Amino acid sequence: MKRKIIRITTVPLSLSGLLHGQLGYMKSHYDVLGVSSKGKDNQLDKVSKHENIPTVAIEMTRKITPLKDIVAVYKLYKLFKKEKPFIVHSHTPKAGTLSMLAARLAGVPHRLHTIAGLPLLEATGLKRTLLNTVEKATYACATKIYPNSFGLNDIILEQNFTKPNKLKVIANGSSNGIDTSHFDPNTINDVAKKAKLKESLNIAEDDFVFVYVGRLVSDKGVNELLDAFNKLSNEQENIKLLLVGGYENELDPLLQKSMEIIKNNKKIISTGWINDVRPFFAISNALVFASYREGFPNVVMQAGAMKLPSIVTNINGCNEIVEHNKHGLIIPVKDTEAIYNNMKYILTNQEEAKKMGIASRANIVAKFERIKVWEAILEEYKSLG
């Protein structure tokens, strides 16, 4: 009889996106149950079908909501007592806090939490104090903490959130690796389709295209990116900025000035949320990803696998995927001028940029192939007994 593992995220989009394919893979070795909020349009049911695992909906919010959080802890506790899992493994901040507490109360032997970024690093004052306390409580309830990058591991120790013996980075980092057979420019090489996509976006054949993929929010450095591109586009012809992603105006809105730049600059194209980003990488020349904080950004791995050079900030995750001047360029955080200067450098050194892109794919294949990450996580599970 297989042992039971319960995998938990706050919202189903994280189960389907952050852990795409992983739960189905683990099903061959363990009895896997997925837990998350129901999501819009029954997204959790779609996860169940895709991964071929049962799921249970327990509503969790991404904000600080004490009453709802207590209800969620109680429901998780009841679920764990009923299912008696060998392992509860959580991802995302709120799911981690609630499920680690509930799992400890329920006596689950192995309580694992993966850290894929620390939003609290951007908080200040009383909010930061509260978030620090919650973070420490989460780690105290867990039996093992898995930062998904080596830089994140160091930050956790610097912040004194837990002891070194509770921490481990699996494989070379990343929560799920990347399927390099899927993110491969050779699979998106239909010239006519690419030309049609460019035409639909008003991108000329000789335009140099910078792309940003991700949530259009402040802490991804989008305000600085828009400022930098706005300046560059006033000086340069034949350039475009492709913004692929949706807004989160309730949680982390862009500045009004940024919204006006998007509206008024005809060289900026905003696509909204896109399920398959590969065609957009395929018509682009370089990624710009100026985030303030990350765990281990999938977007940078995806762009690299698609042979794009990347301009990234000098933060954990980004600086573990990109080696400066080899796979792209590393710049300081929150530095509009640095984004501008490095975009200009890429634009005026396009042959060098192409070589960086080729080197990027080789690097991703060697270090972050998805199946290698899955196998490393499986070995970690097996090592628990």
> How high is the pLDDT of residue 40?
87
Over 90: is that where the pLDDT of 174 sits?
A: yes
Asked if 4-177+370-383 and 185-367 have one fold, the answer is yes
Highest mean pLDDT pick, 56-65, 84-93, 245-254: 84-93
pLDDT category of residue 19 using cuts at 50, 70 and 90: very high
Cα–Cα distance measured from residue 114 to residue 96, given in angstroms and rounded to the nearest whole number = 8
Where do the structural domains in the chain lie, given as residue ranges?
Answer: 4-177+370-383, 185-367
Going by C-alpha positions, the residue among 322, 381, 304 that lies closest to residue 146 is 381
- Strand runs labelled E in 293-365: 310-313, 328-331
Contact 256, 189 (CB under 8 A): no
> How high is the pLDDT of residue 364?
98
Q: What are phi and psi for residue 240, nearest 5 degrees?
A: -135, 155
Cα–Cα distance measured from residue 302 to residue 310, given in angstroms and rounded to the nearest whole number = 11
CA-based torsion, 340, 344, 346, 352: positive or negative: negative
Contact 224, 230 (CB under 8 A): no
Cα–Cα distance measured from residue 136 to residue 103, given in angstroms and rounded to the nearest whole number = 16
> How high is the pLDDT of residue 15?
93
> How high is the pLDDT of residue 63?
85
Going by C-alpha positions, the residue among 324, 325, 327 that lies closest to residue 303 is 327
The stretch 122-149 carries a mean pLDDT of: 94
pLDDT, the chain, mean: 96
Over 90: is that where the pLDDT of 368 sits?
A: yes
pLDDT category of residue 303 using cuts at 50, 70 and 90: very high
Confirm whether pTM is higher than 0.85: yes
Q: How far is CA 20 from the centre of its chain?
A: 12
> How high is the pLDDT of residue 17?
87
The stretch 168-184 carries a mean pLDDT of: 97
> How high is the pLDDT of residue 385?
82
Fold exhibited by the domain 185-367 = Rossmann fold (3.40.50)
Angle of the 350-368 helix axis to the 370-383 helix axis, nearest 10: 30
CA-atom Rg of the chain in angstroms: 21
Cα–Cα distance measured from residue 193 to residue 49, given in angstroms and rounded to the nearest whole number = 30
Contact 286, 346 (CB under 8 A): yes
Q: Encoding tokens for residue 300? A: 């940078």
> How high is the pLDDT of residue 62?
87
Least trusted range by pLDDT, from 249-253, 286-290, 326-330? 249-253
The stretch 212-226 carries a mean pLDDT of: 97
CB-neighbour burial class of residue 305 (10 A; exposed 0-12, middle 13-18, buried 19+): buried
pLDDT category of residue 117 using cuts at 50, 70 and 90: confident
CATH superfamily entry for domain 4-177+370-383: Glycogen Phosphorylase B; (3.40.50.2000)
The stretch 85-95 carries a mean pLDDT of: 97
Over 90: is that where the pLDDT of 162 sits?
A: yes
